[in-house]
Amino acid sequence: MSEIVRIRQGEVRGVTGPGGVKVFRGLPYAASTAGHGRFAPPGPAPAWSGVRDASVNGFTAPQNDPEFNLSVVPAMGEDCLNLNIFTPAADAGLRPVLVYIHAGAFVSGGGGGATQDGSILARDEDVVVVSLNYRLGVFGWPPFKARGGTVSNNLGLLDQIAALKWVRDNIAAFGGDPGNVTLFGYSAGGWSIVALMASPLAKGLFHKAAPQSGSEFTAGSRERQNAMAKALLARLDKSPTEATVAELLAAQQAQIEASQNDPARLVEEGPTFGPWLDGIVLPEEPLAAVIAGRAMDIPMLIGTTADELGYTPFRAGLAWLDAMHTREASLTTLAAEYGPDAAETIWAAYESAAPGASEAVLAGHIRSDRYYRLPAIRAAEAHAGRAPTWMYQFTLPATSAVAGYVSTHATDLAFWFGTMAASPLQAFLFDRAPSREEEAVAVRMRRDLAGFARTGRCDWPAYSPDRRATRLYGAEDSLALDPGAIGRKAWPIKA
């Protein structure tokens, strides 16, 4: 069965999936960024005559190494600013809208894979789910302002803002409430959400925020941008003075992609591309804006897995990654940020909390907390004084040997969507079909996320710096007070 809906651009024909969910894929929310649209901010979405087919995914953003959570990688192309909609009915229902921003360290991933299919979430919770693609790598986050100093180089964030404007203007036709939009997103998506909360250009476009396993919540300095631009242009065999916008526009997509593919890129130590300080979209670092009270005062649901970057078999064997998981490397990194004395104190706290653990395991715990758990705690502490805030932690361990039997990064991703049975990411992490207990946890998580989207509240105590109430999604439904990081009290957690 098909479903025809009229939006501002024209008519679209979707399909009816299992359970009666109406699915519309590949809807352009902005103009093409191919050709002369490269490095340009997103323009108005094109109109069309007749009925546009919306039964298949649109282009995914160009990327060197597509994430394995995409079961069948859609065709990639620069004309990638499109989104997908999953709705129980294209009627006047004014349902809560959940807009998902995908993961991938700002260089990979997409909104159209099996893991992030919104059908089950939409069907079971009577919400409208939107997933979107945005520009990645150098196409989305160039370390230079190719269009001049008055145009932001946070093109990926501008894409996300354009998608939110499209949702505001069109989602009512799909049964959604444009006045009740919740952003949820994983990893780079969670980081993006906090950046959007800090951006004056996104104000009023969403009303609740659920950043999931977002890392750091920082933005690249001008110095880092200059260094990145110099390195990128060198790999294109151009000096900064020779690299004109015209040359970059004329260069082949594959040539530019190859230039950004540094085999020594330390993804887990900090992304190569991502939000930049630009004075336009981001006047300051996102986490700093939250701490200072200059981010949006909207309800927030935030959390991580229990061991985001734990040392597991799939994080072993690569020389550059093994080198991170040593006491010496940990102390060097911590000393640069907190000072030598604090570095020793932090290491000792983790060593005491896990007696007998290897250096690699301890370093993995520290990296998990430094890049994921502690930024979430800092954000929740600061935000709780200004808007309702809830914290969760996913504690179910992966069950495959390669995932190390820990609750590693992305272990919970398919749980939020209820797509465990269809997700290749889930198969990698769990190596089997989901158990009845895991299905029950996923049901609980979907209900909590949808309930938060509906009311701006969760059914456990709100987070506060003194109590730190945290929902634990694990083998048993439970509430913890101050689960925190292993050695949280050893960290200087105030900005």
Q: Are 32 and 195 in contact (CB under 8 A)?
A: no
Dist. CA 215–CA 261, nearest whole Å: 21
CA–CA separation, 201 vs 151, rounded Å? 13
Q: Which of 187, 192, 400, 423 is catalytic?
A: 187
308 is an active site residue? yes
Helix, strand or coil, per DSSP, at residue 139: helix
CA distance 269 to 275: 15
**E runs forming strands in 300-451:** 300-305, 389-394
Residues in the chain: 495
Q: Are 455 and 208 in contact (CB under 8 A)?
A: no
* Residue 369 DSSP class: I
Catalytic residue among 125, 268, 308, 438: 308
Residue 383 annotated to the active site: no
The answer to whether residues 391 and 94 touch, using CB atoms and an 8 Å cutoff, is no
Residue with tokens 């390195």: 231
Is position 409 annotated as part of the catalytic site?
yes
Which neighbouring-strand residues pair with 27? 83
Strands (E), 334-386: none
With beta carbons less than 8 A apart as the criterion, state whether 257 and 62 touch. yes
CB 117 within 8 A of CB 130: no
Which structure tokens are listed for 89?
Answer: 């009915």
Q: What are the b/e assignments for 288-326, b being 16+ CB within 10 Å?
A: bbbbeeebbebbbbbbbbbbbbbbbeebeeeeebeebbe
Sequence-ordered list of residues with C-beta below 8 angstroms from that of 48, at least 6 positions apart, any chain: 9, 10
Dihedral class, residue 292 (left if φ above 0, else alpha if ψ from -120 to 50, else beta): alpha
d(CA 294, CA 308): 28
End-to-end CA distance of the chain: 55
Please tell me whether residue 142 adopts helix, strand or coil conformation: coil
Query: Reduced to 3 states, what is the DSSP secondary structure of residue 181?
Result: strand
Out of 102, 325, 383, 409, pick the active-site residue: 409
Catalytic residues: 187, 308, 409
